[in-house]
């Protein structure tokens, strides 16, 4: 929809992602997030059994982080793993900044800098996921109906 296209192209989009990640385990920046309007969140909610939009948003955020996970054996300190490790430990595990900085052998200020970059990457992932969903809907809307489409439309 044009509303979600406006949302993902908004310069504040990565701030919405940051806020939702900060409240990942609960809080108003997750439960009242504009991100709940995303089509991919609604799709996730429909696929889940509980139809919980906040849990669906959490799943979408976790998927976006998982998409950034490098191939191969996990390393705490190699450069290709740093962004994923920061996201996974800070937000999915809910660890404190100092704890994560110590585990990743970096200063807190360096962690904050890299965390900003990591959050931007999550925003790009979610933007791409949402755009792909929009394209898939446009593609299926222009495709000829399948045999079952008439049955569904006429229920």
Cβ distance 33 to 57 under 8 Å?
yes
Question: DSSP string covering 22-38, please?
Answer: HTTTSSHHHHT-GGGG-
Whether 153 is in a domain gets the answer no
Q: How far apart are CA 55 and CA 106, in angstroms?
A: 32
- Domain hosting 44: range is 2-129
Whether 144 is in a domain gets the answer no
Whether 141 is in a domain gets the answer no
pLDDT at 121: 97
Whether 51 is in a domain gets the answer yes
Number of domains composing the chain? 1
CA 155 to mean position of chain CA atoms: 35
Cβ distance 4 to 39 under 8 Å?
yes
Whether 152 is in a domain gets the answer no
Model confidence over 79-128: pLDDT tens digits? Answer: 999 999 999 999 999 999 999 999 999 999 999 999 999 999 999 999 99
pTM of this prediction? 0.85
Whether 154 is in a domain gets the answer no
Whether 139 is in a domain gets the answer no
Whether 45 is in a domain gets the answer yes
Nearest CA to 25 out of 95, 81, 75, 83 is that of 95
Model confidence over 11-47: pLDDT tens digits? Answer: 899 999 999 999 999 889 999 999 999 999 999 999 9
pLDDT band at 1 (very low <50, low <70, confident <90, very high): low
């Amino acid at each position: 929809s044009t509303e979600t296209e406006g949302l993902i192209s908004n310069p504040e989009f990565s701030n919405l992602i940051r806020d939702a990640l900060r409240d990942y385990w609960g809080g108003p920046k997750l439960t009242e997030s504009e991100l709940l309007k995303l089509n991919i969140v609604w799709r996730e909610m429909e696929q889940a059994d509980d139809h919980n939009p906040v849990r669906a948003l959490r799943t979408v955020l976790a998927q976006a982080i998982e998409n950034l996970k490098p191939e191969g054996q996990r390393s705490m300190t190699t450069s290709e793993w740093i962004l994923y490790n920061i996201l996974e430990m800070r937000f999915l595990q809910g660890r404190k900044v100092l704890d994560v900085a110590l585990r990743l052998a970096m200063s807190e200020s360096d962690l904050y800098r890299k965390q900003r970059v990591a959050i931007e990457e999550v925003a790009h992932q979610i933007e791409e996921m949402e755009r792909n969903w929009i394209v898939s809907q446009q593609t299926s809307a222009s495709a000829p109906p399948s045999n079952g489409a008439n049955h569904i439309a006429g229920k």
